[in-house]
Structure 1
Amino acid sequence: MTSSVSPLVRYLPGHTALVLDSPHSGTRYPDDFAFAGELATLRRTEDTHVDKLYDFAPALGVGWVEAFFPRSYLDANRDTTEVDVSLFGETWPHAVSEDPRVMGKVRLGKGLIWRTTDDGAAIYTRKLTVAEVQARIAQCWQPYHAAVAQAIDAAHAKHGYSIHINCHSMPAIASGNATDFPGEAHADFVVGDRDGSTAAASMSRLVCEHLKGLGYSVAYNHPYKGVELVRRYGAPQQHRHSIQLEINRKLYMDEKTLEINTGFAPLQTSLQSLVQQLLATDPRALPA
């Protein structure tokens, strides 16, 4: 059954303790975006095909939330205070974060509303209005977060615990404007729990070890620790576990053409194995 509070957000309720969300795989570019440059450049900022990689999950009773809007239009994995005020031709009337760690990403052009692509290309040659960004928040950010919160609350209420995997992909080599480690070659997977604050160490360890057991290289909290969607909804002391899972795109696609390659099917089989493991796991029974 599909439940949706926005035409730009898909929510498939589940009946298990597991919830997956994909905030960056959206490909519907709204008419009011009015971006500069080529669409192909923006397409390479997407978490391309992540929604397809996990398309088996709803049939297993897993809660699923997916953004149809692109991350370059609005990044649902950022807080609404992570705003680059230089984008506006007028005063932004709402709160702006003063956290230097958060605002470091904003300075890279990767706030709530992106200013540049991963390669540093400007997305706009115009100033944005307060009204249009407020509309994006109302039509994209708010319904997306409402769906994730609803899915996790439902899972927790039914089972006494919840496991939330925030699903992403990453380039094989970090771009210059994407992270604090430009040029770094990424592992096959990066598991992030914000240094143990959004999931129990035992849960994150289970995910890491399961993937390593399948033959993948796995990094933990580097270079991606997890951002807003795990920070906001992860509370391991309340048996609410949220983990950000990054997949190296070289495993399943051509990063230049965006075409799926022969690695897609075996990778999806591995993800099915991980999901089955999570469905069989009660985090309360794991050793500390």
Structure 2
Amino acid sequence: MQTITHLPGSTALVLDSPHSGTAYPPDFQYACAMNTLRGAEDTHVEKLYDFAPSLGVHWIEALFPRSYLDANRNTTEIDVSLFDAPWPDPVETDPKVLSKVRLGKGLIWRTMDDGAPIYARTLSVAEVQARIERCWKPYHVAVAQAIEAAHQAHGYSIHINCHSMPAMASSHATDFPGEAHADFVVGDRDGSTASAALSSLVCQHLRARGYNVSYNHPYKGVELVRRYGNPARQRHSLQLEINRKLYMNEETLAIMPGFEPLKTTLRGLVDRLLATDPRGL
């Protein structure tokens, strides 16, 4: 079973979508309703950026669902209460990281955003290790290869980690339940994964087009920008969250009329980034 799409590019820009996958593996024995489970998806994000490969942008996309394995988490972000035996590999101890695990949002999700449990059973160590081998490792290899290729060819890389978010934060989604989200959230882990000038450029570009943009709140960026962003080495990684209300019905998952104007905005942002050398900002 193919678990990722990796389309190499020729430019310095790398886009990846870790949460838009809809290919539910046959070994995924979940207990909640499918329509509930699909709420974990960054639905249609891959369609919003489907123009990118034709522009020479590197593109990586997870085909497996986020609720099966979250590629934007480290393999150490493990909820050991899920297993029927001790987990043999390292487990995260940082309290800030563990706050997400406690919400049920580690590498392997325990609950949905509303707190509904995903499983009515314990998981085996072997099945989760198999998910890591089939899904997490190929995804991260592809992202790392794309960024390395972009950097080697151009002397810098710009990596946008592409996401969507619900209009309103649910009880188990973030540390700010009930918060109404902005149109966009730009995250660089408080300036540690991209230059402040590049982050400002993205925020200003979107605000100039009439969007409400939040910076590092409530999403600062997680593993994929943390692992691959290194602005001191001209490797810039940003997480970009899009409010789903701009382009889809969150209940039915249907694409709404705002989809095409939003896609035009994203095309303009990609064009701007393709014309930007962060070394000159």
TM-score, structure 1 as length reference? 0.97
TM-superposed CA distance for 1:40, in Å, is: 0.8
- 2:12 is matched with 17
> 2:105 and 2:56 mapped to 1: Cα distance?
34
Report the Cα distance in structure 2 between the residues aligned to 1:47 and 1:246, rounded to whole angstroms.
10
Query: Which residue pairs with 1:238 in the alignment?
Result: 233
Alignment of 1:156-195 (within 5 A): 156-195=151-190
Equivalent position to 1:63, from 58, 61, 77: 58
Partners of 2:209 and 2:141 lie apart in 1 by 34
Q: Secondary structure of the residue that 1:195 maps to in structure 2?
A: coil
In the alignment, which residue of structure 1 is the partner of 2:93? 98
Write the distance in 1 (CA, Å) between the matches of 2:11 and 2:257. 31
Q: 1:206 aligns with which of 201, 205, 209?
A: 201
For residue 231 of structure 1, report the CA deviation from its aligned partner. Answer: 0.1
Partner of 1:85: 80
What residue identity is the alignment partner of 2:255?
Answer: I
3-state SS in 2 of match to 1:81: coil
Question: How many matched pairs?
Answer: 281
SS at match of 1:44: helix
Query: Match for 2:67 among 51, 68, 72?
Result: 72
- Output aligned runs, 1:1-288, within 5 Å: 7-286=2-281
Displacement of 1:202 after TM fit?
0.3
Distance in structure 1 (CA, Å) of the matches to 2:261 and 2:246:
9
Question: Which structure 2 residue ranges, 5 or more long, are not aligned?
Answer: none
Residues 56-82 of structure 1 show CA distances to partners (whole Å, capped at 9, x for unaligned) of: 000000000000000000000000000
The AA in structure 2 aligned to 1:207 is: V
CA distance in 2, matches of 1:45, 1:225: 18
Distance (whole Å) between structure 1 residues aligned to residue 165 and residue 258 of structure 2: 15
SS of 2:40's equivalent in the other structure is coil
Please list the CA deviations of residues 207-259 of structure 1 after superposition, one character each: whole Å capped at 9, or x if unmatched: 00000011100000000000000000000000000000000000000000000
CA distance in 1, matches of 2:66, 2:219: 17
CA deviation after TM superposition for structure 1 residue 107, in Å: 0.4
Shift of 1:44: 1.0
Task: Give the Cα separation in 2 of the matches to 1:243 and 1:175.
Answer: 24
TM-score, normalised relative to structure 2: 1.00
The 4+ residue runs of structure 1 with deviation greater than 2 A are none
Task: Tell me the amino acid that sits aligned with residue 213 of structure 1.
Answer: A
Where structure 1 has 5 or more consecutive residues not aligned to the other structure, the ranges are 1-5
1:3 maps to which residue? none
Q: CA deviation at 1:16?
A: 0.2
